[in-house]
Structure 1
Amino acid sequence: MHMMQLDRDFSACLADFGLAEYKKDLRRVSTVNWRSSGKPTGGFHKKNMVGTLIYMAPEILTKEIHTEKSDVYSFGVSINELLTGVIPYTDIRAEAQAHTVLEMNYTEQQLTSAVSSGGLRPVLAGIESGVPASMLSLIQKCWDANPQNRPSFNDIVLELDDMLQQRKKMEKEDLSLYQPPISHVHQVMDDVNNLHTYQEKINWSTQGECVSKGASFGVHSGFRMWLDGFDDPLAYHLVLSWGSFATCGRRESMEDMHFLMPFLCNEKDVHAFGIFDGHRGAAAAEFSVQALPEFLKALGSMCSPADALVEAFVRTDVAFRDELDSHRKSRRVIQKDWHPGCTAAVALIVKNKLFVANAGDCRTILCRRGCPVALSRDHVASCPEERNRVVSAGGEVKWQVDTWRVGRAALQVTRSIGDDDLKPAVTAEPEITETVLSVEDEFLVMASDGLWDVVSDMEVTNIIRDTVKEPAMCSKRLATEAAERGSKDNITVIVVFLRPVSTAERVY
């Protein structure tokens, strides 16, 4: 699904890594002219299967003839996923590997057999969700077991256009049938205006952006100081590609936030990526994901990258707590004992230098020569060093339920942004690691603890090495693996490849 992207105008675009063909360039495939050419065609690369299993038509899974109708099948599965918001088969599969691209023999995979022989399909979107019955019927026709029974894409376009026209007609009729009294209209508009005002007051993302830009006066004088400090003509030149995936997992709400900022301030050798894992609500994470990058930009001309990261964390923490206190005093925040916070991990790449700042239990690893290298350590109360630091700062640490926890809030982490009821013991000051990158370094993985709770550093490295080398696909694979292993938290993953990946290497 990550191959379907939206531009700034929310128009849909399709991305591809070299396996697709334009319809006009395809000749009609039959039992006479079909053969495996040894070239990527959307279903196979030589004798290896290429694609994402859960979207593959039965005829591809059984290595029979695949045509445009095979893509129609995939289209039906994808549209159903858009309507339900659920990755196909995730509620019934036991083997998470089956969902992502791997060069492996699928003949023993239960899902392959169930789809191709047993007629298994994803759970269809419900009519109660407001989806037209005609759309549900179209989806079922698209994933029919017999390719000949599936509609062509020309037919699909005509059906979708007819649905759109019907919807417009119904909306027009609904408006003409209902003419509410003027007094009622005024009341509704007042309610909408009040709701809009209330939402603006609690929009922490907007608050974070405004506060940080106000503090820096919206002026970013560039990173010349950083770049000049690392001006080594013999330094290894990175070629980056990046992607991410986030899911609320088994939680009812999403409290993770993240940002991808390659070419920071249009500087080709400066890149930043960050993850914020909220707790006691999403407010701190929503605020920080906007504020911290702005503070970092403003500090680029004032101090070193490491010092800028530390200062950006601290300023974000202070700004959020000040903003929260301001809301309390103006009674815009009703909850008396509401003390939201978030852990944070930010990676800053300047030429061939990698700086990682971490406060809390988000984690960052580097794959070097096929092995994981930890670039951060978890700041949790179960760590004796962190426990002693909290106590020395005046905090209280007790064994509660199943582990060491901080204060009445029973927080497991010992460093975070926000959590004003636990300051200064639970500091926002991050630990910084600095790494000189070289040709031996393959990729960077950042993730919230929803991943690391159930997948080890080495397993993360191995999973990526066995997945098509596309960052967003790798991120989704890791998040889905964590969910399949029973992660009970939100899961956010960022993968950054540090060197070029050839088409063959992506597939293998």
Structure 2
Amino acid sequence: MGGCVSTSSRSTCSSRSNGEPVSPACLGRGCCGQKRSKRTFSDHVVTMHNLPSIPNRVFMNGKSRSSCIFTQQGRKGINQDAMIDFMSEDVTFCGVFDGHGPHGHLVARKVRDALPIKLLSFLLSNQSKQHESGRTCFKGNMKKSDGTDSEKDGSAEDQLTSLWREAYMKSYKAMDKELKSHPNLDCFCSGSTAVTMVKQGSNLFMGYIGDSRAIMGSKDTNDSLVAIQLSVDLKPDLPRESERIKRCKGRVFALQDEPEVPRVWLPFDDAPGLAMARAFGDFCLKEYGVISVPEFFHRTLTERDQFIVLASDGVWDVLSNEEVVEIVSSAPTRSSAARILVDSAAREWKLKYPTSKMDDCAVVCLFLDGKMDSESDYEEQGFSSATLQSNHSGNANESDDGQKSEPSLQRNFTVRSSDENDTYSRVLSADDEGNGETIAAEDQNWSGLEGVTRVNSLVQLPRFSEERPNP
């Protein structure tokens, strides 16, 4: 779900590990320029570029001090979902990224790795400008001091929200710009969604594009657990999204054989068929209404708020918000909640769509009281000691786009015939992360691009944006 298709015969486009607390220089200094060291802004940015070696960063199946994450490959090829949980002091950053198109898995990973750095960089830059102008310094937990009236508190909270809003807007814009100019990553017909969240004290800040979703499990006045949706699935048929796309000459319609999936099409060709209105990448549609501007959301958390779930659309296609809250809350251990949720989604795919191939699923479960199970055995979740060591080691491997990436475990695959190996090796060689399950023998006939394009061969769209004749 959430990919691109083409009906044209001429052109086709598919669309923390546990460890010691991280250095205060990394994502999560208090939103206040208190003098803790003589480090400069540039020092912070340089430190953030060592993000892959920071121990409190989880990007594969596992858990941290207050969250767990899990992803499972679907039946459409390479797992194009990515996720991250990053903690520092009183700040937690979580994100889920769902790639689509021939290079969608690379786009999702690139955004996963680069976006937190950009977000912090712009936040620190904005803080520095505020301090230089003599504005009031404030902390993220927004605790009221004696004698402080509500008007001043409101003003301080507004300033904090404004800082994060601006940081989100600038970082998403910069992320898309970097993807467009990336020398080794073609994002013309590939892209990624993003739903990202920052918890700072009792404040929750969120920015999102695409159709990945965030919900919260919270207790109502009767102490019953209810689901609260925190984000909106930015589909092309939403009135405001559709109007923008049509103003930009893009087209929005669904195919006859899938009337429930509205897609974005070029004005002069039935391609690429993007099933979302906002995304990173997808530059073939950026002039026709698809944007990377995030929706921003702020919420003040209370004691009634229990946990937050971020997930890709592979989960939401088969499970409701209420079902997700019920599954997470009833998990035998908190550290297993994400895995159990993905397992539940996989079962629902088989029941509801027996003739369709399951989509990739990625889940982040954050428990807001900051508590986790006591050091439960990783074997219960299928995590080996090698997984833990790989998350802690500072060694970097070469990634698909020529950049240094984190150490990872390789996925295990079933044995195929020599003919099949020739077909699949080119696709699987790009997938360097062990975040999928073993593929059963009866599912060996999957295609690396199935679910993204309706043909077996991919013909790249021409770079028409510069050659389009003037009206």
TM-score normalised per structure 1: 0.49
Return the index of the structure with the highest Cα Rg: 1
Match of 1:360 in 2: 210
Q: How many residues align?
A: 268
Kept after mapping to 1: 8 A contact 2:217/2:228? yes
Q: Distance in 1 between matches of 2:294 and 2:228?
A: 19
1:473 aligns with 2:294: no
Instruction: Determine which structure has greater relative contact order: mean sequence separation of CA pairs < 8 Å that are 6+ residues apart, divided by chain length.
Output: 2
For 2:84, what is the secondary structure of its paired residue? Answer: strand
Given the alignment of the two structures, is residue 383 of structure 1 paired with residue 238 of structure 2, yes or no? Answer: yes
Distance in 2 (CA, whole Å) between partners of 1:306 and 1:422 is: 25
Secondary structure at the aligned position of 2:284 is classed as helix
Question: Aligned runs of 1:82-481 on 2, under 5 Å?
Answer: 226-227=31-32, 241-263=66-88, 268-280=89-101, 281=103, 282-303=105-126, 304-323=163-182, 326-327=183-184, 339-369=189-219, 370-401=225-256, 402=259, 403-407=261-265, 408-424=271-287, 425-470=289-334, 472-481=335-344
Amino acid aligned to 1:287? K
RMSD of equivalent CA atoms: 2.9
Task: Tell me which amino acid in the other structure corresponds to 2:264.
Answer: V
Q: For 2:205 and 2:110, locate their aligned partners in 1 and report how far apart those are by CA, in whole Å.
A: 22
Runs (5+) with no aligned partner, structure 1: 9-218, 230-238
Amino acid at match of 2:240: E
> Displacement, 1:283?
2.2
Tell me the distance in 1 between the aligned counterparts of 2:318 and 2:32. 38
CA deviations on 1:165-221 (whole Å, 9 max, x unpaired) are xxxxxxxxxxxxxxxxxxxxxxxxxxxxxxxxxxxxxxxxxxxxxxxxxxxxxx969
1:275–1:346: 8 Å Cα contact kept in structure 2? yes
> What is the aligned partner in structure 2 of residue 170 from structure 1?
none
Gaps of 5+ in 2: 1-15, 35-63, 127-162, 220-224, 266-270, 351-357, 377-471
Structure 2 counterpart of 1:194: none
Letter paired with 1:289: R
The superposition leaves residues 12-32 of structure 1 with CA deviations (integer Å, 9 ceiling, x where unpaired) of xxxxxxxxxxxxxxxxxxxxx
Output the amino acid matched with 1:409: P
Q: Name the SS for the 1:388 alignment partner.
A: helix
Q: 1:262, CA displacement in angstroms?
A: 1.0
Letter in 2 for 1:400: L
What is aligned with 2:458? none
SS at match of 1:429: coil
Assess if the C-alpha contact under 8 Å between 1:223 and 1:300 holds in 2.
Answer: no
| Matched residue SS, 2:349 | coil
**Structure 2: how far apart are the matches of 1:310 and 1:477?**
34
Instruction: For residue 496 of structure 1, give the secondary structure of its aligned residue in structure 2.
Output: strand
Shift of 1:368: 1.2
1:502, 1:248 → 2: CA distance?
A: 26
Percent of aligned positions that are identical: 26
Does the C-alpha gap of structure 1 residues 308 and 503 become closer, same or farther in structure 2, counting only changes over 3 Å? closer
Please report how far the alpha carbon of residue 309 of structure 1 lies from its aligned counterpart in structure 2 after TM superposition: 1.5
> For the Cα contact (< 8 Å) 2:209–2:293, is it kept in 1?
yes
Structure with a larger share of its residues in helix: 1
Instruction: Give how far 1:397 is off.
Output: 1.7
- What is the DSSP-based 3-state SS (H/G/I as helix, E as strand, rest coil) of the residue aligned with 2:124? coil
